[in-house]
Chains A and B, each alone.
Chain A
């Protein structure tokens, strides 16, 4: 029972990281109607920046995280402006291929800058652990921090999109770009803002991920990126609460699957669940059914 609880908490913690990453996918998809496959690699860049800030510049962890967020925000806006904006009118396949290209570009750039040797990431927030059930159940401070960060981000984003001017503009752009533009909303700036928010969140996710799994390599971001994308689809792509639910469920399924069924099959299980969910709910758990007009 205690073991189950431990797995569950670990699952929620891992799932929270997926959820934060999935938010980036889902927001960008909701607004720009494109899949930003480079998102996973922005996580990796964020983690490297935080690593360098702490290891080489000896900056305090919080400053390092903020620096990583700033760099990733800039990176996201630059990627959008240089790679995706010129393709705004192009077929979605062209944008998709470009995103894959950007992903490889970032991975190889990281390989060039930081080399292929894994870096050992020092946990950002190691305050200690909580021990329950006479030490049988330990909850690390990273776990608590990850879950807390997830909750805070979720509340902040919900308030932002629901109740502020820019958030409303984002929703308007996601529903009808043309009409939003005719209402005086700058669509390009709104899309940039979306990328900025998504990338800042990616930086946070990168630091949290590497605090829990401390090996940092240029390919660190790709697998969590793909899983978070799965989480976004699972919850209903385009939906912010969907990304949260999808991410956490995915994390829990993965950890429980690895613990009780097979370590090797953990990932396969995740995608099997995705397929089953999509068979019954093609738009994802919270996705809106798409009505085709005839």
Chain B
């Protein structure tokens, strides 16, 4: 059974909501496409033959038991690790040989499982680090405060506040990021990632440590962000209510391999997935 699943061709990602989301045209212009992506750490295949396509405004979920290789996939996509096999196409461009910065400029941004904000900087400055590559003035303009500096600084300030307003955080702009409450830090990480102007946003366990009410809010926000910025979002999450609730396509990873792909319903009823999570049913 599992063998059959593994041999699924690359473009088998079902598109159940094709009618609802007009831009989810996987075959002509996916935002992300991976082909036989894999990485070995000294002989250990952490991820193997990972094939996935994500449409332009799709919300995709990546789930799997602990240690399945989910974060490794994110690290491969963002070029923190260089794949030892296969390739990643981002907006149709091969990212082979690129580094993290180049992948970011090509339109990929992420948040982290353990929050990694710049804790000693203000909330606004964290967002403006994300805007870094959109600021065009050079060092001398910055040092001598030429007119270009003031103009751009003002524009950046407004842009940062606008991005913060997605989560109603504009009043916190002057606070030190490290002193924010946990939930706000998670939201700020998303804002900071959005500031880099991505076409694909990767969220690594965005609901970790949140209560059901906060998770509910997060789900609405993820959909809102997708609609407003018209971007694709891929998330790793253990909270099945969130994954099943908002992901249009779900990909299940176990021992570094994709064991199932499909919609929420398909995944929930897939015996291979149930086995991976709960173990094999005893015979008799």
List the B side residues contacting A184 at CB < 8 Å: 101, 104-105, 130, 132-133, 196
Interface assignment of A118: CB less than 8 Å from any CB of chain B = no
Number of A-B contacts (CB under 8 A): 80
List the A side residues contacting B139 at CB < 8 Å: 164, 166, 193
Within 8 A of B (CB), among A142-185: 156, 159-160, 163-169, 171-172, 175-176, 178-185
Residue of B nearest to A185 (CB): B132
Contact of B118 among A163, A167, A176, A187 (CB under 8 A): A176
Interface assignment of A92: CB less than 8 Å from any CB of chain B = no
Contact of B104 among A156, A182, A288 (CB under 8 A): A182
A164/B149 contact (C-beta < 8 A), A172-B121, A186-B101 known: yes
Which secondary structure characterizes the binding site on chain A?
Answer: helix
Q: Is the CB of A166 within 8 A of B142?
A: yes
List the A side residues contacting B105 at CB < 8 Å: 184
Give chain B nearest CB distance to A166 CB in angstroms. 6
Give chain A nearest CB distance to B231 CB in angstroms. 16
Q: Is the CB of A169 within 8 A of B116?
A: no
Residue of A nearest to B137 (CB): A165
Q: How far is the CA of A111 from the CA of B71 in the complex (A)?
A: 53
Q: Is the CB of A181 within 8 A of B101?
A: yes
A182/B135 contact (C-beta < 8 A), A168-B128, A175-B118 known: no
Q: Is the CB of A182 within 8 A of B121?
A: no
Chain B 117-147 interface mask (CB, 8 Å, partner A; 1/0): 1111100010011101101010100110000
A165/B104 contact (C-beta < 8 A), A172-B129, A184-B196 known: no
Q: Is the CB of A185 within 8 A of B101?
A: yes
Q: Is the CB of B100 within 8 A of A182?
A: yes
Contact of B142 among A165, A176, A187, A288 (CB under 8 A): A165
Give chain A nearest CB distance to B95 CB in angstroms. 14
Q: How far is the CA of A175 from the CA of B100 in the complex (A)?
A: 17
Q: Is the CB of B132 within 8 A of A165?
A: yes
Q: Is the CB of A179 within 8 A of B101?
A: no
A167/B142 contact (C-beta < 8 A), A172-B118, A181-B100 known: yes
A185/B129 contact (C-beta < 8 A), A165-B135, A171-B120, A179-B116 known: yes
